[in-house]
C-alpha cells in the first residue's frame, strides 16, 4: 500500500514537473533564434514573402529568425523536414498551396499536411502571371496559346517540381490546351527566373512576388495575370479571361505552420506575432509593390489556416483527378 501511494505520488510529481516545464517554455518563448523552413530555393517567391514576414515577426518577438531554404520535389522535401522537427516552436514552415495539392499528386507522401502540423495562420494570396523570355515570339496571350498548340513539346516550361504553384499552373494550362510542353524542374522559381532572364528557358507561370519587378523592367514578357481583375502593380497585363483563357483563376495562398505537438501557447504567440507583422506598413507596402497583400488579421489564425487547408485539399483532389493526372 505504501509503495502504491509513493508510486502514485512520484507519477503525480513528475506530471507536475513536466507541466511546469512546458508552461515555462511557453512563458520564456522565444528564448533562442527561430528557423523558418522555406521549401524552395532562395530568391524565389515563397522565399521573398517569408523574409519580409520573418523580419517583421523577429522585431515583434525580439528574437532572430533564420530562413532556411530546403528546395526540391515541389516543396515536399522541406515540408517533410519541418514535419519531423522538434515541436518546440523553434522550427517552423512557411509553405503555399502545395500543402493542399501534394496529397493528390504524390503516391506516398512522408507526412500528412493536415495531421503532422499545427497551423499558425494564413499569410497572403498571391496572383500568378504567365510569362516568357523577352524574345519569345508570341506577343499576346492569344498568340501564345496558338504557339503552344502548334509547338507543344518544343517549348520549354520551367517549374519548381510537382505540386509547386508553377507546376500546377502549367498543368492547368496544358490541360486547357490539351497539349504538352517540355517541363524543366528547378528547386524553386528563383533559379528558374535566372534562366528565363538568360533566355535558356522559354516560359513559366509564376507568382507576382517573383515576376513583377522583371515585368515592369521589360526584362521578361507577360501575357496574363490569373486574377478576375487586372492588378494595380501590373495594370498593363491583361487577365487570362481577357486573353481568351476562361476559368483560369489561380491564387497561391501561403500559410505558416509548426510541427504538430507544439505547445498551444507558443502557437498562439506566433499567430499574434504573424498578425502584428502583417499589419506593419513595411510588409503591406512591400507586398503591394509585388502585386499581393497580407491577409486580414482574422485569417492569420490557426483556425483559418486549418479550414483553408482542409477545403483546398478536397478541391485539389478533384481538380487533379479531373485533369487525369496520375500521382507519382
- Please report, as residue ranges, which positions from 35 to 74 form the binding site for ligand ASP (by CB under 6 A): 40-41, 44-47
CB nearer to ligand ASP: give 52 or 267.
Answer: 52
89, 188, 259, 302: which one contacts ligand ASP (CB under 6 A)? 188
Q: How far is the CB of 47 from ligand ASP (least distance, A)?
A: 6
Member of 109, 160, 305, 320 binding ligand ASP (CB under 6 A): 160
Q: Does 164 bind ligand ASP (CB under 6 A)?
A: yes
Chosen residue from 101, 189, 227, 292 binding ligand ASP by CB under 6 A: 189
| Residues 91 to 110 in contact with ligand ASP, rule: CB under 6 A | 96
Closest CA to 136 of 147, 128, 122, 121: 147
Q: Which residue has the cell 522585431?
A: 59
Contacts of residues 235-242 at CB distance under 8 Å and 24 or more positions apart, as own/partner, are 237/129, 238/141, 240/130, 240/141, 242/141
Does 165 interact with ligand ASP (rule: CB under 6 A)?
yes
Which segment (170-178, 184-192, 194-202, 293-301) binds ligand ASP by CB under 6 A? 184-192
DSSP string, 175-224: HHHT---EEEE-SSHHHHHHHHHTTSS-EEEEEHHHHHHHHHTTSEEEEE
- 167-194 as b/e: b if 16+ CB within 10 A: bbbbbbbbebbebebebebbbbbbbbbe
In the complex, what is the shortest distance from the CB of residue 256 to ligand ASP, in angstroms, rounded to a whole number? 14
Contact between 257 and 95 (Cβ < 8 Å):
yes
Least Å from the CB of residue 44 to ligand ASP: 3
Among 157-165, 220-228, 230-238, 242-250, the segment contacting ligand ASP (CB under 6 A): 157-165
Shortest Å distance, C-beta 159 to ligand ASP: 6
Determine if 290 is a binding residue for ligand ASP (CB under 6 A): no
> 152 — alpha (psi -120 to 50), left (phi > 0) or beta?
left
Smallest gap from Cβ 314 to ligand ASP, in A, equals 20
Q: Does residue number 262 form part of the binding site for ligand ASP (CB under 6 A)? A: no
How far apart are alpha carbons 39 and 50 in whole angstroms? 11
Query: Considering the complex, what minimum distance in angstroms separates the CB of residue 43 from ligand ASP?
Result: 8
Which residues in the 190-209 window bind ligand ASP by CB under 6 A? 190
User: Least distance from C-beta 164 to ligand ASP, angstroms?
Assistant: 3
| Residue 170 binds to ligand ASP (criterion: CB under 6 A) | no
Contact between 255 and ligand ASP by CB under 6 A: the answer reads no
Say what angle helices 264-278 and 302-322 make with each other, to 10 degrees.
Answer: 80
Cβ 272 vs Cβ 135: under 8 Å:
no
Q: Which lies closer to ligand ASP via its Cβ, residue 168 or residue 267? A: 168
Cβ atoms within 10 Å of 72's Cβ, excluding its own: 18
Residue 163 near residue 137 (C-beta atoms within 8 A): no
The Cα–Cα gap between 117 and 306 comes to 10
Closest to ligand ASP by CB, 87 or 225: 225
**55 contacts 40 by C-beta, under 8 angstroms:** no
Residue number with CB closer to ligand ASP (124 or 166) = 166
Our finding on whether 129 is near ligand ASP (CB under 6 A) is no
Is 29 a residue that touches ligand ASP (CB under 6 A)?
A: no
Calculate Rg over the CA atoms of the chain: 22
**211 binding ligand ASP? (CB under 6 A):** no
Q: Which residues pair with 253 in a beta bridge?
A: 125
- Enumerate binding residues for ligand ASP (CB under 6 A): 40-41, 44-47, 96, 160, 164-166, 188-190
Amino acid at each position: 500500500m505504501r509503495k502504491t501511494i509513493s508510486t502514485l505520488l512520484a507519477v503525480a510529481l513528475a506530471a507536475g514537473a513536466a507541466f511546469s516545464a512546458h508552461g515555462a517554455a511557453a512563458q520564456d518563448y522565444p528564448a533562442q533564434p527561430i528557423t523558418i523552413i522555406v521549401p524552395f530555393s532562395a530568391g524565389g517567391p515563397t522565399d521573398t514573402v517569408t523574409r519580409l514576414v520573418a523580419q517583421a515577426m523577429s522585431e515583434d518577438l525580439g528574437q532572430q529568425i533564420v530562413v532556411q531554404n530546403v528546395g526540391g520535389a515541389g516543396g515536399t522535401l522541406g515540408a517533410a523536414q519541418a514535419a519531423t522537427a522538434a515541436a518546440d516552436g523553434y522550427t517552423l514552415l512557411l509553405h503555399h498551396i502545395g500543402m493542399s495539392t501534394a496529397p493528390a499528386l504524390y503516391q506516398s507522401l512522408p507526412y500528412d499536411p493536415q495531421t503532422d502540423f499545427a497551423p499558425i495562420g494564413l499569410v497572403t494570396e498571391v496572383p500568378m502571371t504567365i510569362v516568357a523570355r523577352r524574345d519569345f515570339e508570341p506577343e499576346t496571350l492569344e498568340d501564345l496559346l496558338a504557339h503552344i498548340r502548334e509547338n507543344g513539346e518544343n517549348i520549354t516550361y520551367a517549374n519548381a517540381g510537382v505540386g509547386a504553384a508553377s507546376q500546377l499552373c502549367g498543368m492547368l494550362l496544358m490541360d486547357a490546351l490539351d497539349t504538352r510542353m517540355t517541363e524543366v524542374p528547378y528547386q524553386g522559381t528563383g533559379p528558374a527566373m535566372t534562366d528565363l532572364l538568360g533566355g535558356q528557358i522559354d516560359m513559366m507561370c509564376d507568382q507576382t512576388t517573383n515576376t513583377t519587378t522583371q515585368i515592369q523592367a521589360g526584362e521578361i514578357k507577360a501575357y496574363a495575370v490569373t486574377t478576375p481583375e487586372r492588378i494595380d502593380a501590373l495594370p498593363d497585363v491583361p487577365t487570362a479571361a481577357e486573353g481568351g483563357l476562361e476559368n483560369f483563376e489561380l491564387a497561391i495562398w501561403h500559410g505558416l505552420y509548426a510541427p504538430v505537438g507544439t505547445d498551444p501557447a507558443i502557437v498562439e504567440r506566433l499567430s499574434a506575432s504573424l498578425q502584428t507583422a502583417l499589419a506593419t506598413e513595411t510588409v503591406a507596402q512591400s507586398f503591394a509593390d509585388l502585386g499581393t497583400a497580407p491577409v486580414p488579421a482574422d485569417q492569420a489564425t490557426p483556425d483559418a489556416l486549418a479550414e483553408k487547408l482542409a477545403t483546398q485539399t478536397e478541391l485539389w483532389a478533384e481538380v487533379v483527378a479531373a485533369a487525369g493526372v496520375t500521382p507519382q
